[in-house]
Amino acid sequence: MPNSGAAQIGNVDLVKQLNGAAVYGLIDQNGPISRIQVAELSQLAPASVTKITRQLLERGLIKEVEQQASTGGRRAISIVTETRPFHTVAVRLGRKDATIALFDLSSKVLVEQSYPLSAETQEALQQQLFTIIEHFIAENKNVIRELIAISVILPGLVDPENGKVRYMPHIAVDQWPLVEALNKTFKLASFVGHDIRSLALAEYYFGAGSDCSDSLLVRIHRGAGAGVIINENIFVGRNGNAVEIGHIQVDPLGEQCACGHFGCLETVVSNPAIEKKVKQLLLAGYASCLSAEACTIHDICRAANLGDSLATEVLKHAAVTLGKVIASSINLFNPQKVIIAGEITAADAILFPIIQRCIDTQTLNAFGENLPVVSSQLGNRSAIGAFALVKRAMLNGKLLQHLLDDGRKLPS
């Protein structure tokens, strides 16, 4: 028989976590706010709210800021979340480099640094990654007050619940237990996630998706990836991975993709694919202000914005292909907004009307009508997705409860 005593303790702990998260989340989103207002919005008993806010105050996670106007009795004191003293190391692990940033809980970047990567095996990559994290922490020890978490995002297939990396596109990994290794080495709460889906979460918390509960993020970079927010939560599949739009086939007779199949979206719509197409046309003799030696995605977007016909036509073809896939995704997920991220958005005046036309003609009217297509508001903040995982852990109570249970208090 199951241990009913252990189950009861587990249920009590879960209720404590959820109640704490509800109170903290309301203060974070609506502060300055009074305890009475928190109780009304959370539908928790005032005594429970008072107990939770006392714990949060003692831990330094919230602070009292002002008294509200009296409504006849004692004036209520407003509370807000305290963000500055709590820091996170957020890492965007790329194919050839790693971007590491130090965030406070307001999502402010305090320090950011990029490091080259040269490892070719899982073991070497972990050693190199941990070395640069240790170096980053040591270099910024005078800035860091209390380090509460380390979070890593990366391309590939990730099992976020078990903290393992199943696949990376450029290096062989075998159920890489990254979170376990981070915990063991740094003795901190640790998180791992897929880079694009984590970026979609960041757009919801801090960017263009913050005004809606359902959104589709598409990022064009070395590949093509997407993340979907549904009911304010990131959509993940059975094993933590979903919405791999970069591997939707758009041309059965197209080039072979890194995944092994042919004609995937990212063989047509990705920075390398667009650059390759422009170079082929230049070498074939087509007129352009571009040259084969200088046709990065930045150069191509700039040339298209200045009216270069070759650059414009290549981007328009990419937009039509991307628009078809986005339209299909809208029919599946019915988002309130489509967000496009990546260097390609520098040519949004050329791309977005074409994508919008695909939406208008290839989606259900109820899904596509008045559906905005916008650029990411997060720019080049590549590590912000890693911080979004920490923000989520504070708001769902997992990291919040860990901070409350560890009993530490900030120095005065």
Q: What is the pLDDT of residue 42?
A: 94
User: Is the residue at 410 inside a domain?
Assistant: no
User: Which SS3 state, helix, strand or coil, does residue 43 take?
Assistant: coil
Give the tokens for residue 219. Answer: 């990022």
- How far apart, in whole angstroms, are the C-alpha atoms of residue 251 and residue 81? 51
User: Is the residue at 411 inside a domain?
Assistant: no
User: Is the residue at 412 inside a domain?
Assistant: no
For 105, half-sphere exposure in the C-beta direction (CA atoms, 13 angstrom radius) is: 25
| Average pLDDT of every residue of the chain | 91
- How far apart, in whole angstroms, are the C-alpha atoms of residue 323 and residue 340? 11
Q: What is the pLDDT of residue 410?
A: 41
Q: Which of 30, 51, 81 is the last residue of a domain?
A: 81
How does pLDDT run across 351-372, given as a tens digit for each residue? 999 999 999 999 999 998 889 9
What CATH number is attached to the domain comprising 14? 1.10.10.10
Q: Do 341 and 261 reside in the same domain of the chain?
A: yes
User: Which SS3 state, helix, strand or coil, does residue 374 take?
Assistant: strand
How does pLDDT run across 59-68, given as a tens digit for each residue? 999 999 976 5
How does pLDDT run across 263-304, given as a tens digit for each residue? 999 999 999 999 999 999 999 999 999 998 889 999 999 999
Residue 254: CB partners within 8 Å, gap ≥ 6? 262, 263, 264, 267, 268
Q: Assess contact for 401 and 117: CB atoms under 8 A.
A: no
How does pLDDT run across 306-353, given as a tens digit for each residue? 999 999 999 999 999 999 999 999 999 999 999 999 999 999 999 999
Is the whole model's pTM more than 0.85, yes or no?
yes
Query: Is the model's pLDDT at 11 over the cut of 90?
Result: no
Q: How confident is the model at residue 70 (pLDDT cuts 50, 70, 90)?
A: low
Q: Do 153 and 296 reside in the same domain of the chain?
A: no
What's the average model confidence in pLDDT over 34-54? 95
- Domain of 112? 86-200+383-405
Q: Are strands 33-34 and 146-154 parallel, antiparallel or unpaired?
A: unpaired
Q: Do 301 and 389 reside in the same domain of the chain?
A: no
Strand ranges, E, within 346-390: 373-375
How does pLDDT run across 370-379, given as a tens digit for each residue? 899 999 999 7
Q: Are strands 337-341 and 373-375 parallel, antiparallel or unpaired?
A: parallel
Residue 222 phi, psi (nearest 5): -65, -25
User: Which SS3 state, helix, strand or coil, does residue 265 take?
Assistant: helix
Q: What is the pLDDT of residue 79?
A: 95
Give the rounded distance of the alpha carbon of 357 from its chain centre: 28
Q: How confident is the model at residue 12 (pLDDT cuts 50, 70, 90)?
A: confident
How does pLDDT run across 377-397, given as a tens digit for each residue? 997 788 999 999 999 999 999
Give the CA distances from residue 284 to residues 278, 287, 301, 310, in Å, rounded to whole numbers and listed in that order: 10, 9, 20, 12
How does pLDDT run across 125-157, given as a tens digit for each residue? 999 999 999 999 999 999 999 999 999 999 988
How does pLDDT run across 197-208, given as a tens digit for each residue? 999 999 999 999
Q: Do 387 and 319 reside in the same domain of the chain?
A: no
Q: Assess contact for 245 and 329: CB atoms under 8 A.
A: yes
Instruction: Burial-class residue 160 by CB neighbours within 10 Å (0-12, 13-18, 19+).
Output: buried
Angle between helices 4-30 and 46-59 (to 10 degrees): 80
Q: What is the pLDDT of residue 412?
A: 34
User: Is the residue at 67 inside a domain?
Assistant: yes
Q: What is the pLDDT of residue 75?
A: 67
- How far apart, in whole angstroms, are the C-alpha atoms of residue 139 and residue 115? 13
Q: How many domains does the chain have?
A: 3
Q: Do 275 and 342 reside in the same domain of the chain?
A: yes
Give the rounded distance of the alpha carbon of 36 from its chain centre: 33
Closest CA to 218 of 304, 321, 317: 321
Percent pLDDT > 70 in the chain is 93
Residue 68 phi, psi (nearest 5): -80, 160
Q: 251's torsion region: left (phi>0), alpha (psi -120 to 50) or beta? A: beta
Q: Which of 55, 81, 107 is the last residue of a domain?
A: 81
Give the DSSP letter of residue 117.
Answer: -
Give the rounded distance of the alpha carbon of 176 from its chain centre: 21
Of 82-86, 170-174, 280-284, the least confident? 170-174
Q: Which of 57, 81, 105 is the last residue of a domain?
A: 81
Kind and range of the H or E element at 308?
none
Q: Do 265 and 350 reside in the same domain of the chain?
A: yes
